[in-house]
Amino acid sequence: MSETLKQLEEKLAAKRKQLYDIFQEAGADRDMSKIKSLDGDNAAKLEAIQTLNKELNGIGQEIEAKKSIDNIYDSVASAHNEQLKQEAVGKVPEKKEVEPKSIGEMFVKSGAMEHKEKSFHVDVDTKTLFQTSAGWDPEERRIPRVELYPTQELGIMDYIPTGNTDRDLIKYMKESTFTNNAAEASAGGTYGEGALALTETSDEVEKITVWLPVTDEQMEDVPGIAAYVNSRLSYMINARLETQVLTGDGSTPNLLGTLNLTSLQSQAKGADPVPDAIHKAMTLVESTGFAKPTLIVMHPNDWQGVRLLRTADGIYIFGSPMEAGPKRLWGLPVVTTTFETENTAIVGAYRGYSMFFVRRGIEFAVSNSHDDYFIKGKQAIRCDMRGAMVHFRDTAFCEVTSI
């Protein structure tokens, strides 16, 4: 019989505490000889620690899988319930099979591509022009490969729930007062008076934008430019989104990122090894924010320090250099990104206490009416999206400093 989500979470917490206690015995210098809770020589103790860490990671992955299934169920159930409501009032929309198209495909098949003179105006300044001499050379002059400029791999949004909205402001109620005076009372005794208060909270829907100037000649290279526009403009938007989700200051037109939450918790590394400081941040999220952390975000340079941790004997704690090893710590996934400030980590309950609301997904528009583009055979392609990042509970997130 498979274990329930609650059982897995309790098991994870128990093994996490066991491993943490072992590290505390070893001390900051990771001296295996100081560990009394494990039997055997230093090599045997290290092997036991690595085995326990693998078990911890395995349980964490099981939990993520179960939660993923729950999210799929919730999505399907929500769609089914909405269909039942529409059927009840006789407003079931006609189903149409729509083949998904990439941004590039929609672009080259759009009316703007075929009738450029009818596209709408984009009021922008002149930028570096994407043309044959400095852009997309016809394939007969080159090999098919296009080596892209090195950019940060995306991944943060994979761990943040996403929903749709038709509003320009996400409003919700937040419980600002909770006083529990529940107490035992004898017959005829006075009841303890509790107190509750709700405050309306809101997050703005903001817009992320980018544009690219292109010559008419480049527009005619349909197969190449379609794939290129799709991959690079959409990347620019999504990369900026991931930056904003972490570090945005919340002042329009910026989203409110995790590191700028009003009541964001903080845990200084101090003299602790980084894994210990991360564990203490997780404990703050659980004991003060009363939430289960689901993600750790670190700069690659900071994760390197964790991966290279060694015992006093010089043996790598998180596995041999011959093993890649999963990016996980205390059973939680670790996303390494240069969008995160170096020497700072985030521990957050993103799955339960955050959501990115999409007002409008990535769209594009094309115009030759900017400046002298019409008479010089140039086009401006703009790309944008609208959405709001919401952190429902500030204390469900903790910043680890000076790592």
Q: What digits encode the pLDDT tens for the residues 157-201?
A: 999 999 999 999 999 999 999 999 999 999 989 999 999 999 999
Cα(352)–Cα(37) distance, rounded to whole angstroms? Answer: 35
Asked whether residue 382 is domain-assigned, the answer is yes
Total domain count for the chain?
A: 1
Asked whether 161 and 391 are in contact (CB, 8 A), the reply is no
What is the model's pLDDT at position 5?
Answer: 85
CATH of the domain at 395: 3.30.2400.10
Q: Which residue has the tokens 């149409």?
A: 96
The answer to pTM > 0.95 is: no
Q: Which residue has the tokens 């909270």?
A: 201
Cα(356)–Cα(339) distance, rounded to whole angstroms? Answer: 17
Contacts of 403 (CB under 8 A, 6+ apart): 269, 274, 277, 298, 302, 305, 343, 344, 345
Cα(357)–Cα(360) distance, rounded to whole angstroms? Answer: 9
What is the model's pLDDT at position 78?
Answer: 61
Please name the amino acid found at residue 283: T
Q: Which residue has the tokens 């009840």?
A: 88
Asked whether the bond before 333 is cis by omega within 30 degrees of 0, the reply is no
Residue 383, domain extent? 115-174+198-299+337-403
What is the model's pLDDT at position 112?
Answer: 46
What is the model's pLDDT at position 320?
Answer: 86
What is the model's pLDDT at position 234?
Answer: 93
Cα(287)–Cα(38) distance, rounded to whole angstroms? Answer: 28
Asked whether residue 99 is domain-assigned, the answer is no
Asked whether residue 368 is domain-assigned, the answer is yes
What is the model's pLDDT at position 119?
Answer: 38
Asked whether residue 308 is domain-assigned, the answer is no
Asked whether residue 63 is domain-assigned, the answer is no
User: Over the Cα atoms of the chain, what is R_g?
Assistant: 27
Residues lower than pLDDT 50 in the chain:
95, 97-98, 100-101, 103, 111-113, 115-127, 133-134
- According to DSSP, the β-strands at 265-268 and 397-401 are parallel
Buried b (16+ CB within 10 A) or exposed e, 167-179: eeebeeeeeeeee
Asked whether residue 219 is domain-assigned, the answer is yes
φ, ψ for residue 167, nearest 5 deg: -110, 165
Nearest CA among 255, 233, 259 for reference residue 244: 255
Asked whether residue 318 is domain-assigned, the answer is no
Sheet harboring 295-298: ordered strands across? Answer: 265-268, 397-401, 344-348, 295-298, 332-336, 328-329
Asked whether residue 52 is domain-assigned, the answer is no
Q: Which residue has the tokens 């996934």?
A: 333
φ, ψ for residue 3, nearest 5 deg: -80, 150
